[in-house]
Amino acid sequence: MSSVSSNRALFLKAAEDLRSNDKQWQAYEAAGHCVLLAGPGSGKTKTLTVKLARMLSEDVDEPRGIACITYNNECARELESRLETLGIAPGGRVFIGTVHSFSLTQILLPYAKVAGLGLPDEFKVATRQEARAALAAAHAQVIGGPENPQNWDMRLGRHRRRFLNRELPEWRTLDPELTELVEAYEAELRARRLIDFDDMPLLAVRALAANEWLRTAMVAKYPILAVDEYQDLGRALHGMVMGLCFSAGMRLFAVGDIDQSIYGFTGATPELLRRLSERDDVETVRLGLNYRCGSRIVSASEYALGENRGYKAPDGAHEGTIYFHPCTGGHAGHARYLVEELISEIRERRPGTNLGEIAVLYPAAFLGDEVANAAAKHGYSVIRTDGNALYPRGSRLMRWLEQCAMWCCGGWRSGRPRLSRVVSEGARLFHETIIDEDERLTFQRDVTAALWDRRDETLSLSDWLAALRDEIIRPRVDLARSLADELGILNDFLNRIGPDGDVDDFPLGEFAGIGSGLDRLNLSTLHSAKGREFDVVILFGVDEGRLPRNNATENDVREARRLFYVGFTRARHEIHLVYAQHNPSRFVTEVQERLEGE
């Protein structure tokens, strides 16, 4: 059987699992523009994956392909993994990545010069330090004074993302000082031959709007555009969709949920998804079953959201349970209770539950410090996904190194992960330096040799990472235009576990365990937990003044409620709400009162 026939057989078999759900099947069968409105646990990733496989097989002739834009690298990895089970390897005809990655690799790097964007030749992506230095110089020029220039960073970002079209009068009149600061900051970047993170989609949408030939070229390469988590991707992505899909002829398959829009501070605008779903030339499908959460958690989640969406658990689903834990004292005491009593009760009630199946979610990273400290004193290992983690979980390089470590610590025997997968993920990471088959073979040989000689879980992590940095990573980062910040993250981590760092060095096997989860308590901010699921979820620190925060605007309260809803719907079997006894969040009180009134 040919590989094409084999791949087709795989996705057709997977498609049969969608047939029993009328709405999933409707989305699978949609032939034109389609928006899939998918609530928590509704099977949207499975639907999207099988739909992508079908469109690639039946609707797109080689060598043309499909682009799939996701919110973050975690989402991209999940889609890649699922597509691989259907016989579709990322790369080649399939682009899967963030809107920033799409903008940089598919538009700016190949076309910036001819698109008339005025970027310096051989521009690079600014590191965090370089961006801070450019802002400091612009601030001194425009604002002056002794304040920290970085205090302007968030306002500056919001202002830039708000105006896709700077020809509008409002660009000059709404906040002239801020506009002047933006222009000075961007001029500083260009003088240093740099663009920054926000530049990527903003420049890409500008290039597409100004150049019909570029829109034609993108449609020729990718006749279909898929977008996951549409509600989180902001105005620049929406501008691209409008131009490519509703003017230039690219077909759209978008997936999202307005109720899970929680990134307003990065420019997410859920209203854009609502408008898109209401277009006459778009087929809109709403998934109504929640396969993840127990039936009682599904019904209570609508109380958490404060809206009746009609979500249901499938027939025969487990019930699920909601527990309320009012606590006295401060957060440190609440964390001790969680670690010393609550987790023990959970494991006694659910024999066989390991720590990796339990997540503690909280509104702010400092609350995670309290839980981490209590866990350490109790002898529990943790894995953190917040701003105080050992390193950013969104780092593509660090996640790849976790995969390398897992291979060195037994994966070479078990095939989990396979070496071919480790090499292919690394090749995508360093794609700028791997421009032909000879380079790919050299990379494969170098990675294989480096890992084969270090298959020992007792090795010092510091020594192992330093060796891979010097042999594999640094030579390639030096040749790339977009990876300097990733190397900076690795160096920062090495400094932390070095002799003068704040964290003791630990064995390679422990680092490999971070990658696989194992028996570690999951600690995460509510924002970082989006898209994940656990058997048991503990919402910690859900107090009034924290969720929502004090002096919140009406929009802030709405987004805080959606954030609470996202945390609530991560749980399969049990959801625990831990809060100050005399200061529960209004959202906790509403859920409790609604449940008591049933």
Tell me the binding residues for ATP. Answer: 38-45
Q: Going by C-beta distance under 8 Å and a sequence separation of 6 or more, which residues neighbour residue 526?
A: 262, 361, 362, 363, 539, 547, 563, 564, 566, 567
Please give the annotated binding residues, written as ranges.
Answer: 38-45
Chain mean position to CA 535: 21
- CA-wise closest residue to 272 among 285, 256, 283: 256
- Strand extents, DSSP E, 190-307: 194-195, 224-227, 251-256, 283-287
Chain mean position to CA 259: 17
- The CA distances from residue 28 to 253, 416, 541, 591, in Å, are 10, 31, 41, 35
- CA-wise closest residue to 162 among 151, 152, 171: 171
**What is the 3-state secondary structure of 146-189?**
CCCHHHHHHHHHHHHHHCCCCCCCHHHHCCHHHHHHHHHHHHHH
Q: How many residues does the chain have?
A: 598
Tell me how far apart the alpha carbons of residues 26 and 501 are, in angstroms, rounded to a whole number: 55
- DSSP secondary structure code for residue 229 in this structure: S
Residue where the block lists tokens 């503990």: 538
**What is the 3-state secondary structure of 111-152?**
HCCCCCCCCCCCCEECCHHHHHHHHHHHHHHHCCCCCCHHHH
